[in-house]
């Protein structure tokens, strides 16, 4: 005889207790200086009067038109810094414009970044497009971007570290240039060594290079008339791995991916076996509905997190939800693996401590990991999205209907 006992209320109470405790802990970690600083939240924020303190800004459209003596930290859709900043600038936004001078560093995560004001220390950016015009960078330039453009009036005083698709550094570099790019164009005086991995390396007519040049490429570098390359240039031809080497690397990646995922599966089987069972059952019984709910969750969850980020109260919750979303996306392969394994062995999968239950999950998970690792262009991203959508859909239905149920097979 099978007895069913609803544990949804208990599950929700314990989950929210953990969430609240974690949010309180995150708030407690905020520096006292942040509490004492100016913290503003609104859809549109305009700073038009001088600020003799640090600024923390959370909004959709943020403008800092006056001078700030301390640091500026901003989260929003569009952020524009027109006044001078005595400290550093820390920004996460879709569009970022730094027109004023910054005494410290500029640290940005964005879709696009334009800098026209001088920077007293380093520029560190993860963005799709970085555009530096008429600005002096007195420290390092560290950037990961699809496109990087630094004009001839924008020298970099120290080192450059980059990972880029196309990069133009025309203002000169006081230190070394290291990293990788599909196409790298250098101009101005480059005082340090150059060590890059590129498809194409070109020196403009304004380029003056006095240190060694070491580059890994299938092509010789190009030099425009007027450029001066006095340092020793060494080209390294990149290795082309054999079929056996590529196959061996793929096997190693598969083993590591499976190992990490299976360890997480064993952990989840111990602390939340019924969640896995219910999500796998939901996915088997309602695959189409799970796909629909998964697409909706994959669209709504990031938007919800962004909205929470624009408020101080919602910021800790947004951080917690971001972590939960990432963990769920990674664990989605375990849910789908349990479904695949149960279909292959021909038995209804349920959480169990016996070897057969674990082997069922291991079999399905191994198949998912192998399928995702096939060396087909864009295949890994496609299969990962499909797996995430299906698992998110099953979990979303559980949350929406509070159908977390514990099954007791005793009696």
Query: Structural domain boundaries of the chain?
Result: 33-236, 243-408
- The pairing of beta strand 222-223 with beta strand 194-203: parallel
Q: Can you give the pLDDT at residue 19?
A: 42
CA–CA–CA angle 263, 330, 93 (5° rounding): 140
Token pair 């360890």 is found at 263
Q: DSSP letter string over 150-173?
A: E-TT--BSS-EEEEEEEEEE-S-B
CA separation for the pair 189, 349 (Å, rounded) = 66
More confident residue, 256 or 37: 256
Please give the pLDDT value at position 6: 40
Round to whole Å and give the CA distance between 24 and 90.
23
Q: Look at residue 402 in the predicted model and tell me its pLDDT.
A: 54
Please, which pLDDT band fits residue 154 given cuts at 50, 70 and 90?
very high
* Dihedrals phi, psi of 114, to nearest 5 degrees: -120, 125
Q: Which of 16, 24, 14, 70 minimizes the C-alpha distance to 315?
A: 24
Mean pLDDT value of segment 190-201 = 93
The candidate with the shortest Cα–Cα distance to 351, out of 328, 292, 341, is: 341
Residue-wise pLDDT tens digits, 102-131 = 999 999 999 999 999 999 999 999 999 999
Task: Please give the residue that has the higher pLDDT: either 173 or 357.
Answer: 173
Q: How many CA atoms lie within 13 A of 162 on its CB side?
A: 36
- Residue 277 pLDDT exceeds 70: yes
Per the CB < 8 A criterion, the answer to whether 77 and 96 are in contact is no
Q: Does the pLDDT of residue 403 top 80, yes or no?
A: no
The more confident residue out of 344 and 334 is 334
Q: Would you list the DSSP string of 197-221?
A: EEEEEEE-TT-EE-S-EEEE-SS--
Question: 83-92, 233-242, 378-387: which range is least confident on average?
Answer: 233-242
Residues of the chain above pLDDT 70, percent: 83
pLDDT tens column, 288-323: 888 888 888 888 888 777 777 665 566 678 788 888
Q: Model confidence over 15-40: pLDDT tens digits? A: 444 444 444 444 444 443 444 456 77
* Mean pLDDT of all residues in 241-248: 73
Question: What does pLDDT average to over the chain?
Answer: 82
Q: With CA atoms as reference, report the closest residue to 224 among 258, 251, 190, 188.
A: 188
Per-residue model confidence as pLDDT tens digits over 224-238: 888 899 888 899 887
Q: Which residues pair with 365 in a beta bridge?
A: none
pLDDT of residue 124: 95
In eight-state DSSP terms, residue 378 is T
> What's the pLDDT score for residue 22?
44
Cα dihedral 396, 320, 406, 4 sign: negative
> Does the structure show a pLDDT above 70 at 363?
yes
Q: Is 332 a residue whose pLDDT tops 70?
A: yes
Give φ, ψ of 4 to 5 degrees: -115, 135
- Kindly compute the dihedral angle of the four CA atoms of residues 53, 54, 60, 62, in this order, to the nearest 10 degrees: 50
**The pLDDT value given to residue 37:** 55
Say how far residue 152 (Cα) sits from the centre of its chain: 31
CA–CA separation, 162 and 142 (whole Å): 6
pLDDT at 35: 41
Q: Write down the pLDDT at residue 290.
A: 86
pLDDT attached to residue 310: 60
Q: Is the overall model pTM greater than 0.85, yes or no?
A: no
């Amino acid at each position: 005889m099978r007895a069913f006992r609803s544990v949804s209320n208990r599950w929700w109470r314990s989950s929210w207790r953990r969430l609240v405790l974690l949010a309180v802990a995150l708030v407690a970690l905020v520096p006292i200086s942040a509490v004492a600083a100016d913290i503003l939240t609104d859809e549109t924020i305009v700073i038009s009067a001088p600020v003799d303190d640090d600024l923390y800004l959370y909004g959709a459209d943020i403008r800092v038109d006056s001078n700030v003596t301390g640091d500026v930290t901003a989260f929003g859709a569009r952020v524009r810094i027109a006044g001078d900043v005595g400290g550093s600038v820390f920004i996460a936004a879709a569009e970022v414009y730094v027109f004023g001078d910054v005494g410290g560093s500029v640290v940005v995560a964005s879709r696009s970044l334009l800098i026209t004001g001088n920077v007293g220390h380093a520029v560190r950016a993860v963005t799709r497009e970085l555009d530096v015009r008429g600005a002096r960078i007195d420290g390092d330039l560290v950037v990961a971007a699809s496109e990087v453009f630094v004009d001839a009036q924008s020298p970099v005083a120290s080192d450059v570290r980059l990972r880029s698709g196309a990069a133009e550094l025309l203002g000169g570099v006081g230190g070394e240039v290291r990293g990788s790019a599909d196409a790298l164009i250098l101009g101005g005086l480059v005082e340090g060594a150059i060590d890059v991995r590129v498809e194409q390396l070109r020196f403009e007519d304004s380029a003056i290079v006095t240190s060694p040049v070491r580059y890994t490429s299938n092509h010789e570098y190009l030099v425009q008339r007027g450029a001066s390359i006095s340092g020793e240039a060494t080209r390294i031809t990149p290795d082309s791995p054999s079929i056996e080497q590529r196959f061996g690397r793929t096997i190693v990646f598969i083993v590591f991916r499976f190992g990490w995922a299976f360890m997480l599966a064993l952990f989840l089987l111990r602390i939340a076996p019924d969640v896995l069972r219910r999500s796998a059952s939901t996915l088997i019984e309602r695959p189409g509905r799970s796909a629909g709910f998964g697409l909706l969750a994959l669209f709504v969850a990031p938007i919800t997190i962004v909205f929470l980020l624009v408020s101080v109260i919602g910021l800790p919750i947004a951080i917690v939800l971001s972590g939960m979303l990432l963990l769920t996306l990674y664990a989605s392969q375990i849910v789908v693996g349990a479904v695949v394994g149960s279909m292959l062995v021909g038995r209804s999968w349920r959480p169990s401590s016996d070897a057969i239950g674990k082997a069922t999950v291991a079999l399905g998970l191994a198949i998912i990991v192998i399928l995702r690792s096939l060396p087909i262009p864009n295949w890994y991203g496609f299969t990962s999205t499909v797996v995430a959508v299906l698992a998110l859909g099953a979990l979303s239905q559980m949350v929406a209907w509070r159908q977390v149920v514990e099954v007791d097979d005793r009696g």
